[in-house]
Every structure is written in structure tokens, then in C-alpha cells.
Amino acid sequence: MTKDEYGDLLAEIGGGNQIGIASRRERNAAEQRVLAEHDTKFWGLLCLGDAVHEFYRDTLDVVSQQISRSSITNAQFAMVNWHIVSFGRFAAAFHLMAHGYYFEAITLARDLWEVALSLAAVRRGVVTLDELVGAGASTRREMEELSRKADTKIRRTLIWENTRLGEEGREAVETFLGIANLATHKSKLHLTLNFSNIIKQRPVSIFPQFDLERAGAAHNMLSLASWSLVSTLPYLDFALPSSARGWHDRYAKIQLAFREGPGKGPNAAVKAWSEVIERVFVPTQ
């Protein structure tokens, strides 16, 4: 099939419209309406995401200037690259959330949390890098099984059997994972919302729409996951120069920003997650 023939085929699929133009305009218009609502009602949280974006990017810039592959261990090399991957997902998650893709953002938030937990486990010696990636497996199924066992060990050690983590902290994690699981597994959370709208005889939108309740949930989920991930950045101390006083000052301020929120002060949920940060993710020597 030639390029022109393929173009004709796509035009027929698209109903005769200029391919890409009409669909992009419709989608972009819906996203911009949601973004405008967020900019008004969630200004502080949007700007928190932008501030973290700048800090995260600057950190990776500093790290890239300090390290060489021959001077670091495999675990350290993996930590750097986990953060490189996670930065892109963090940026994508905030973009999706700000434009009304709430459940998709929650799905990515779960991934950021999982990476943060894995980094903490490697840093604390709960698992080795080989355990985490299923090294030594002879089949893909065996590798997946070893990886699942490592994940179970991480959760058991850092969360469920962590004597330093109180009941409120564990409940906060359970709530976070409960919402994340519903959003991730077969889109149950989104499906429930649609069913609820149908029962209440409300329209079901196929494009993003601003929803105050869902926006709040997505913001909270993404903030907690981002807070956890950013709290593992000091694990890259091997690539942060001792003279980088400015970096440490900014890190302290970003921790304060997560704890205080956009002008509302700490509440019970934030206090509970502060405990999770301190007793799961704060670097140990």
C-alpha cells in the first residue's frame, strides 16, 4: 500500500475529516477547559507539581555531571536510572491530572510509589538489586515469580511489619493502595463513576471533564506518590557534591511544601503520610 493509499484509508476511518485536525481540536478544547478549572480551584497543587518538576530536573542535571559509569556500583547505577525513568512518568502524571485524566494519573501515581518503595528497599538492604529484577531466572515466568517475591518482601519489611511505622501510617498506605488498585485493575474506579452517573441520569463523557471530587482525589494521590519519590532523591548522595548547599536548602523547602500544602496547613492525612516518609523513605546511613 502506498503512502497516498494509506492516507485515503485513514481518511475513510476518520469519516472524511482532515486526519488528526478535528480530533485534536476536540480533545484539546476539552482539556483546556479542565485545565482552566484546575488553575482556578487547585492553583497551589498545580504549582507544587511545577516546582517539583524544576527541582527534580535540576537534581538529575547535577547528578549527570558528577558520575561516570565506572565509578558507581550497579545498585547506584540502577537508582540513577530509576529516577530518570520516573521523572518522565512524574511529568506525564501531572500533565494528565491537570487536563482531567484523573484515573490515568492515579495509575501513574501508583507506579511512582512502587519505584520509591523499591529504591528504599535497595537503600536499606531489604533486597538486593538482583532479587528485585529476578536475576538468575531461566524463564520469563520464573523471573516474574522472583520479582513478585521480592515485592512481597519489600512491603512486609517496610510497611506491614515495620515496627517504627504506626497504625495511622499503615492505614494511610492501605487507603492509597486501595484507591490505586481500583483505578489500575480493569479501570474499576472509572467504571464505578460512569455507572453512578448513569443511575443518576447524568451524562457520561468520553472526553475529560472537570470533577471537583475526582480532581481532589487525583491531586492527593499524585502528591503523596510524588512526595515519596522525591524523598528518595537523597539516596543519590554519591552523586551530589558536598558543596551543593543550595540543593539541600531546596530539598528542605520542598519537604516543607509537601507537609504544609497550598496554604491549608497539615491535616490528619498529611501527618500520617509524614510518618510514612520519615519511617520508610528517609535515608539511613
Is residue 262 over pLDDT 60?
no
> pLDDT tens digits for 95-149?
999 999 999 999 999 999 999 999 999 999 999 988 888 878 788 888 888 888 9
Is residue 284 over pLDDT 70?
no
Decide which of 4 and 17 is more confident. Answer: 4
Domain region containing 222 = 42-281
Together in a domain, 10 and 111: no
pTM: 0.87
Band of residue 266 on the pLDDT scale cut at 50, 70, 90: low
Number of domains composing the chain: 2
Band of residue 66 on the pLDDT scale cut at 50, 70, 90: confident
The residues near 275 (Cβ < 8 Å, ≥ 6 apart) are: 165, 166, 168, 169, 172
Together in a domain, 16 and 127: no
Together in a domain, 127 and 33: no
Together in a domain, 87 and 1: no
Is residue 178 over pLDDT 70?
yes
Buried b (16+ CB within 10 A) or exposed e, 7-16: eeeeeeeeee
pLDDT at residue 65, rounded to an integer: 84
Together in a domain, 14 and 75: no
Decide which of 219 and 67 is more confident. Answer: 219
pLDDT at residue 265, rounded to an integer: 46
Identify the burial level of 78 via C-beta atoms within 10 angstroms of its C-beta, where 0-12 means exposed, 13-18 middle and 19 or more buried.
Answer: middle
What is the arithmetic mean of pLDDT over 251-268?
A: 76
Together in a domain, 26 and 123: no
Together in a domain, 72 and 20: no
Together in a domain, 87 and 164: yes
Which one, of 83, 84, 93, lies nearest residue 45 by Cα? 93
Lowest-confidence region among 50-59, 68-77, 124-133, 231-240: 68-77
> pLDDT tens digits for 30-44?
999 999 998 888 888
Distance from C-alpha of 59 to C-alpha of 56, rounded to nearest angstrom:
5
